[in-house]
Structure 1
Amino acid sequence: MRQFTAIVNPTAGAATGAAALLRVGKLLREAGAELETVYSRSLAHAQDLARQAGQRGRVVLAVGGDGIAGGIGGALSGSGTVFGLVPAGRGNDFARALELPGEPAALARVLLRHEPRPVDTIEVHSPGRPRTVVLGSVYAGVDALANRHANRARLLRGAASYYAGGLRAVATWRPAGYRITVDGAEHRHRGYTVVAANSPYYGSGRMIAPGARVDDGVLDVVLIAAAPRRLFFALMNELKSGGHLARPQVRVLRGREIRIEADRPVPYGADGEVDAVLPVTARVLPGALRMLY
C-alpha cells in the first residue's frame, strides 16, 4: 500500500486546500494507505519538503493550484519520485490536462490504483536567475501581465480574477517585437504573447494550445500577433474552445528548445508565477517526472 506525503502551503488557499485534502485523505486512509500532511512556509520550503519525502520513498502530493504543482513537480523532475495532485487552486490547469477527476472518491482511486506514468517537464533558464523546472507552460507578454494582476487580486477568485486581470492588462498593452528561436530556427513576431506550452491549458481553463500533450517530448509554441483590441478580446473568448487557432493572427510552432527575446522589457511567467522579464529559454525534459493520473 502506498505511503503519501501531502504538502500544503498555508499562505495560499489554505482553507480550500485543507478541505480538499480532508475529503481525499479520509478515503486514502480507509483504503489502508498511510498519509502524512506537512505545511510549507514558502514554495522553496515546499520543494525541500518534497525532495525529503521522495528520498524516503514516499509518494508526494501537491495540494493546491498550478503554482505549487509546478514548483513541486519541477523540484522532483528527474528524481524518480512518484508525484500526484490534489487540485485546490484557482486554475488547476495541469490537473485539467491530466484529466484528473474532481470528485474525491474518483481521485482517491487514481492515487491508490493507477500506475505512475512519465510526463514531460520544462527546464527554464533566464540570465541572472537560477535554473528552474516547471510543468505546464512558459508565457511571455500580455498574459504574464494579466496573471500578475490576477495574483494580486484580493476580492476575486478563480476564473473571475483571471478575466479581470486580462481586461486590465490588455487595456494598457503595447505590442512587442519578439525574436523566437525554435530548435535553432529564428522567427520574428510582433504581437501580444508567445507561449511555450507543455499543457493545452493556462489561465484557468483557457485552451491556449489544444495540440499540446504532456508526454510527447515537444513544446507547442503559440504566437498571437498584434490586432485591434476588440479583435483580441474576441480571440480571447475563443480560447475556451481552441477556436482561436483558425485566426490568421495565431501561429503555432513546435520544438524541444525555445528561446524568447523582445525589443523591450516584457514580463514572462511559468505555471502561474510571474516575477521575471525576457529573455528566457525553455527546454523540454521528456518523461522526466513520474505522475499518478
Structure 2
Amino acid sequence: MYVVLVNPKAGNSQGVKQWEQLEKIFVSKKMAYEAFVTASEQETREVVWEFKDKNTVTAFIVIGGDGTVHTVIQDLAGSDIPIAVLPAGSGNDLARAFELTNNPNKLAEAILKQEVRELDVLHVNGNYCLTIAATGMDAEITDHAARSFYKRWFNFLRVGSLTYVLSALLVIPKFKPSHVKIKIDNDQYIAEKVWMVACGNTQSYGGGMKVCPLAHPTDGIVDLVFLHTVNRRTIISKLLPKVYSGKHINKDGVTYLKGRDIRISSDRPLKVIADGEIIGETPVAIRIKPNAIKLIAT
C-alpha cells in the first residue's frame, strides 16, 4: 500500500491538481493507497507516525514542495520505507537535484519499478535536511520570500524562482553582516563581515541557485560556503548573477570548504534555514548522516 501525502497549499494548489491526475492512474492500475490532504506540518507528521511502522506500507508518496518533503523526512530518516516525490512547490530544488519527474504517469511507473537511491541527510540542531542548511543573509531572504505577497503571483505565472531573486534584492541592502566562528571537524575559522554561511548536501536552493556547486548527496561530506568581506554592490552586481551557474566559488570573498561535523556561532542570533524552512537561530551544529533516506528514482 502507498501512503500519499498532499500539500494543498503547494504551488497555488498545484499539489491537489497533481494528485487528482495521479489518483486516476492509481485506480486504473489497481494500486492500493491511502491519501491524505494535510492542512499543517503537524497533521503531516501525525500521518507519517501512524503508518511508518506498518509492514503494509510500500512507500510514502509526497506531493508538494521542498518544505513538505522536509516535514516528512523528520520521521523517516533511518527508516527502510522509501519516499517518492511529485514536485509541486515554488522552488523545487530537491526535484532539480535528483531530476525528479513532475509527470504523474511517469511517477506511477517509477514507484512500481521502485529503483531506490540511498541519500545522505544533514542533521541540523535536531532537524533533518535533504538539501541545504544556511544562516545569515540567505536565511533572511528565504524568510522574506515565504511571507511575501508576490510569491503567490510568481507561482501562478510558473516563475516561482523569481520570488527569491526579488526578495534578495530587497533584503541585501538592509542586511548587516556579522562576526562568525566556524568549526569544521578539527579546524576553526574566525571571520568578520560574514554575510552568509551555507552547508550543502545538494547543490542548490532558492529555485536553482547553485550555492554549493560541488555538493553530492551520497559522498558522506558537507560542502560549506561562506561569503565575507565584500560590499553590497559586489554581491548584487557580481556574485548574485553567478550563483545560478555555480561560478561564484572562485571569486574574492567566497570561501569553499568541506567537512563532516560543522558548528557555527555568531556575534548576534542569526536565523537558520533547512530545506528552505526556518528552524531556529545560531549557534547551529550540522553533521552528515550517511544513507539515511531512501528515495525512489523517478
Q: Is 1:133 aligned to residue 128 of structure 2?
A: yes
1:44 alignment partner in structure 2: 42
Indicate conservation of the 8 Å contact 1:10/1:41, yes or no: yes
By how many angstroms is 1:21 displaced? 2.0
Q: TM-score, normalised on structure 1?
A: 0.92
By how many angstroms is 1:10 displaced? 3.2
Which residue of the other structure, out of 27, 32, 47, is the alignment partner of 1:34? Answer: 32
Which residue of the other structure, out of 153, 169, 172, is the alignment partner of 2:171? Answer: 169
Indicate conservation of the 8 Å contact 2:260/2:288, yes or no: yes
Equivalent-residue separation in structure 2 for 1:14 and 1:173 (angstroms): 29
Indicate conservation of the 8 Å contact 2:185/2:260, yes or no: yes
1:128 alignment partner in structure 2: none
Unaligned stretches of 5+ residues in structure 2: 155-159
- Which stretch of the first structure deviates more once superposed, 140-149 or 218-227? 218-227
Equivalent-residue separation in structure 1 for 2:251 and 2:224 (angstroms): 15
Q: Percent identity?
A: 29
Equivalent-residue separation in structure 2 for 1:25 and 1:241 (angstroms): 37
Alignment of 1:144-155 (within 5 A): 144-155=139-150
By how many angstroms is 1:66 displaced? 0.8
2:157 alignment partner in structure 1: none
1:15 alignment partner in structure 2: 13
Q: TM-score, normalised on structure 2?
A: 0.90
Indicate conservation of the 8 Å contact 2:10/2:90, yes or no: no
- Structure 1 pair 114–81 and aligned structure 2 pair: CA distance change class (3 A): closer
Q: Deviations over 1:229-249 (max 9, x none)?
A: 221012111111111112122
Equivalent-residue separation in structure 2 for 1:29 and 1:256 (angstroms): 45
Indicate conservation of the 8 Å contact 1:70/1:136, yes or no: no
By how many angstroms is 1:279 displaced? 0.5
Alignment of 1:1-293 (within 5 A): 3-13=1-11, 15-57=13-55, 58=57, 59-125=59-125, 131-156=126-151, 157=154, 158-190=160-192, 191-233=194-236, 234-293=238-297
Q: Deviations over 1:141-180 (max 9, x none)?
A: 1000000000001233311221121112101011111111
Equivalent-residue separation in structure 2 for 1:114 and 1:39 (angstroms): 24
Indicate conservation of the 8 Å contact 1:261/1:280, yes or no: yes
Please provide the CA RMSD for this pair.
1.7
Indicate conservation of the 8 Å contact 1:74/1:121, yes or no: no
Secondary structure of residue in 2 paired with 1:245: coil
Unaligned stretches of 5+ residues in structure 1: 126-130
By how many angstroms is 1:11 displaced? 4.5
Letter in 2 for 1:165: S
